[in-house]
């Protein structure tokens, strides 16, 4: 399922293909499903005993590109959708369905001395699809079309490489949770437009009123050469990451304490996310409906927001196991 999800394109605002896959996979396991006007997929699963209601949330969208202009000679100008570092873009392959393109720049031997010494910006780049003219390009591309990183899923040793691990890892965890039977009531929201301002989550939780919420995410992981230990945020193969605070939310401390106690009791490998930078849908969910008790659990991902994100399989499994233990113990949380 993770392979299918990551190899499907769903740049923010264009998540339908991802949503269709998730809906087909989980609808038969749910008591009720609905798709709201923001494109969020909201799934309800009635518990065997009722009682508390657990909300799990993951976002379907990924970072990518939107076409802003087609030049007279058939090249595509673009802007990034979501937080993408322009330094990683040069020579990247991108796609719109079966149409492939290369992000490029004027060749180095054609640059002036001043141009070679200056860092390039996103505005200098273009996508080359092999068109000879604007008219030829317009047969297959329009302004406003989305492109995604062109990247294949790779499993090697304990590592998985793919695009969009942020946040298809969360979507995969929620899918597995919906396929199981629980005593507690479960609501899973697969939301849109997280990468451009947590927009889907703001609408998705309206009227749900869960007892508590867990946002399941992919987060940054920087344990690599040249990064001091205190700046590594999370460690690869360090277990599921538990957030305390970020730029958009402060996790409910009582909820965090109970989650980490469950992890310890069940010998699940976990770590704190050692940074308050960044943010996720907890920033929207925690302040909705008069306030919802919210925490975030994340899978550490190297090279996040690129076409070659990488995660450790053990970190993914520890996230999945902890989520399941939380649902099992919902009445004590």
Q: Over the chain, what is the mean pLDDT?
A: 93
Determine which of 30-34, 275-279, 316-320 has the lowest per-residue pLDDT on average. Answer: 275-279
Overall fold of domain 2-62+163-332 = Aminopeptidase (3.40.630)
Residue 306: pLDDT over 70: yes
pLDDT for 238 beyond 70: yes
Could you tell me the residue ranges of all domains in the chain?
2-62+163-332, 64-149
Is 64-149 in CATH node 3.30.450.20? no
Which of 15, 194, 195, 217 is flagged as catalytic? Answer: 194
Query: How large is the average pLDDT for residues 129-144?
Result: 97
Token pair, residue 200, equals 């889907």
Give me the mean pLDDT over the 189-218 stretch: 95
Active-site residue flag, 194: yes
Rounded mean pLDDT, 157-177: 97
- Between 110 and 70, name the one with better pLDDT: 70
pTM of the predicted model as reported, rounded to 2 decimal places:
0.93
At residue 110, the pLDDT reads 59
Tell me the two tokens of residue 68: 């802003």
CB-CB contact of 45 with 29 (8 Å): yes
> What does the pLDDT average to over 155-167?
95
Highest mean pLDDT among 46-50, 55-59, 225-229 belongs to: 55-59
**What average pLDDT does this structure show over 54-62?**
98
Each residue of 209-222: pLDDT tens digit? 999 999 999 999 88
pLDDT value of position 257: 97
Q: Check pLDDT > 90 for residue 233.
A: no
CB 76 within 8 A of CB 137: yes
The pLDDT of residue 289 is 87
User: What is the pLDDT, as a whole number, of residue 136?
Assistant: 97
Q: How far apart are CA 204 and CA 42, in angstroms?
A: 7
Cα distance from N-terminal residue to C-terminal residue, the chain: 30
The answer to whether 58 touches 7, Cβ cutoff 8 Å, is no
CA 284 to chain centre: 15
| CA nearest to 286, candidates 296, 276, 272, 277 | 296
Q: Is the pLDDT of residue 231 over 80?
A: no
From 108-122, 212-226, 290-304, the region with the lowest mean pLDDT: 108-122
**Residue 119, pLDDT score:** 67
Task: Note the pLDDT of residue 105.
Answer: 84
DSSP string, 110-133: GS-HHHHHSPP-GGG-EEE-S-SS
- Quote the distance between the C-alpha of residue 30 and its chain's center: 23
Question: How sure is the predictor about 50, in pLDDT bands with cuts at 50, 70 and 90?
Answer: confident
Find, among 88, 91, 95, 119, the residue nearest to 103 by Cα: 91
With bands split at pLDDT 50, 70 and 90, how would you rate the model's confidence at 246? confident
Q: What pLDDT was estimated at residue 109?
A: 60
**Token pair 């302040």 in the structure block, residue:** 287
């Amino acid at each position: 399922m993770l392979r299918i999800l990551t190899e499907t394109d769903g740049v923010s605002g264009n998540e339908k293909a991802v949503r269709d896959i998730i809906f087909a996979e989980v609808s038969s396991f749910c008591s009720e499903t609905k798709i709201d006007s923001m494109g969020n997929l909201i799934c309800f699963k009635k518990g065997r005993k009722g009682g508390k209601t657990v909300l799990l949330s993951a976002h379907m969208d990924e970072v990518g590109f939107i076409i802003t202009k087609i030049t007279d000679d058939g090249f595509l100008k673009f802007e990034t959708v979501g937080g993408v570092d322009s330094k990683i873009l040069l020579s990247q392959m991108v796609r719109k369905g079966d149409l492939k393109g290369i992000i490029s720049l004027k060749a180095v031997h054609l640059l002036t001395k001043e141009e070679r010494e200056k860092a390039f910006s996103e505005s200098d780049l273009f996508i080359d699809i092999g068109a000879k003219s604007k008219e030829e390009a317009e047969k297959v591309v329009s302004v406003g079309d989305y492109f995604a990183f062109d990247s294949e899923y790779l499993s090697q040793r304990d590592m998985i490489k793919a695009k969009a691990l942020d946040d298809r890892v969360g979507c995969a965890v929620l899918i597995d949770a919906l396929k199981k039977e629980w005593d507690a009531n479960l609501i899973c929201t697969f939301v849109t437009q997280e990468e451009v301002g947590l927009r889907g989550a703001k609408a998705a939780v309206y009227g749900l009123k869960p007892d508590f919420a867990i946002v399941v995410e992919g987060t940054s992981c920087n344990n690599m050469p040249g990064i001091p230990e205190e700046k590594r945020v999370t460690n690869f193969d360090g277990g599921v990451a538990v957030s305390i605070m970020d730029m958009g939310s402060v996790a409910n401390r009582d909820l965090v304490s109970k989650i980490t106690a469950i992890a310890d009791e069940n010998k699940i490998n976990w770590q704190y996310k050692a940074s308050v930078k960044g943010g996720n849908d907890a920033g929207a969910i925690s302040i909705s409906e008069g306030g919802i008790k919210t925490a975030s659990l994340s899978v550490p991902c190297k090279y996040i927001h690129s076409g070659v994100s990488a995660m450790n399989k053990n970190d993914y499994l520890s996230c999945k196991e902890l989520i399941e233990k939380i649902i099992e113990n919902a009445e004590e949380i």
